[in-house]
């Protein structure tokens, strides 16, 4: 049976049609898009940063970053459990120092997640050498108020605009198994697809305490809508069997977060990941920076 060719789209009705297409056709088309924009034999691993607590000293971050650097990670991610950066000048200065050290001394890319930021704060991080800023929309605009009350959906989108205006790469996560419906998946995809600038990174998190989420069927839609975005398996991937992770790779995932911990959940270790990639015939890529890759 000849597979149906699927064209990239941002129209809500066409996104819905892709979403409801039987898995084999989107999987075939995802591979076409994936091979057009990325090397299908390459994947990448990223260190997951430090645990949420009072801002740690620079020396502690130095030690924490060295291990993933030595094991081949190319981007170091740091997070603070803050709602926003209001009246956090000291914290922003300390984090900027961490970013500068990791960039200048360890030659690693850096990503931070610090809650909402304004344009000036985003620019300060950019000037320090920050590569990417993580800020999640998590789900559809309609479902969002049912699961998050600390900030609005529009607050999230405004922060992403500030980040991109500062010429930082936007890393925007989605979470599956939040009690959402099929329409919420479509709303999430449509929000991403209609952004003026598509996110550089799309980490997909799996809520750990709900089993059996059909994550692959959802992931095949992302490369068809945003073919140049880097789709990263993130928190909760340790709950998946290896064949499920392999199928996610076939469905367009081309990066993974690695380290002892990812957010508040366990994470697959670097050595385990490297062995897995070798079994699949894949090799780690040095960096996904489009500037460095000449894309």
Q: How far is CA 75 from CA 108, 112, 201, 217, in A?
A: 5, 10, 12, 28
Instruction: Report which of 242, 187, 177 is spatially closest to residue 212, judged by C-alpha positions.
Output: 177
Q: DSSP states of 104-167 as a string?
A: HHH--EEEEE-SB--HHHHHHHHHHT--EEE---BS-TTTHHHH--SS-HHHHHHHHHHHHHTT
Which DSSP category does 278 fall into?
A: H
Token duo for residue 263: 């957010």
Q: DSSP states of 257-271 as a string?
A: EESSEETTEE---HH
Q: Residue 88 annotated as binding? A: no
Q: Residue 248 annotated as binding? A: no
Q: Residue 232 annotated as binding? A: yes
Burial 201-217 (b: 16+ CB within 10 A, else e): bbbbbbbbeeeebebbb
Only one residue has tokens 């897995």, namely: 276
Only one residue has tokens 């500037």, namely: 291
Find the farthest-apart pair of alpha carbons in the chain and give their distance in angstroms, rounded: 62
- CA gap 58, 284 in Å, rounded: 28
Q: Residue 77 annotated as binding? A: yes
Residue list for the binding site: 77, 111, 171, 232
Residue list for the binding site for [2Fe-2S] cluster: 77, 111, 171, 232
């Amino acid at each position: 049976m000849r597979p149906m060719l699927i064209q990239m789209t941002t129209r809500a009705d066409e996104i819905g049609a892709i979403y409801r297409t039987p898995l084999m056709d989107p999987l075939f088309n995802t591979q076409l898009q994936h091979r057009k924009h990325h090397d299908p034999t390459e994947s990448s691993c990223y260190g997951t940063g430090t645990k949420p607590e009072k801002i740690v000293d620079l020396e502690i971050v130095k030690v924490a970053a060295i291990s993933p650097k030595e094991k081949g990670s190319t981007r170091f991610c740091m997070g603070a459990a803050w709602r926003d950066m209001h009246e956090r000048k000291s914290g922003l200065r300390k984090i900027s120092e961490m970013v500068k050290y990791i960039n200048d001394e360890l030659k690693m890319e850096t990503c931070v997640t610090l809650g909402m930021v304004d344009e000036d704060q985003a620019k300060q991080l950019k000037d320090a050498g920050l590569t990417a800023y993580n800020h999640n929309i998590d789900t559809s605009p309609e479902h969002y108020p049912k699961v998050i009350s600390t900030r609005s959906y529009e607050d999230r989108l405004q922060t992403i605009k500030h980040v991109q205006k500062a010429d930082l790469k936007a890393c925007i996560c989605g979470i599956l198994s939040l009690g959402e419906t099929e329409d919420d998946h479509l709303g999430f995809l449509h929000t991403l697809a209609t952004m003026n600038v598509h996110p550089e990174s799309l980490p997909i998190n799996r809520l750990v305490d709900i089993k059996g989420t059909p994550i692959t069927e959802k992931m095949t839609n992302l490369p068809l809508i945003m073919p140049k975005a880097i789709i990263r398996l993130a928190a909760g991937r340790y709950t998946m069997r290896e064949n499920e992770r392999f199928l996610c790779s076939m469905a367009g995932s081309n990066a993974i977060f690695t380290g002892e911990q990812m957010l508040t959940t366990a994470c697959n270790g670097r050595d385990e990941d490297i062995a897995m990639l070798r079994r699949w015939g894949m090799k780690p890529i040095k960096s996904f920076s489009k500037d460095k890759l000449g894309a």
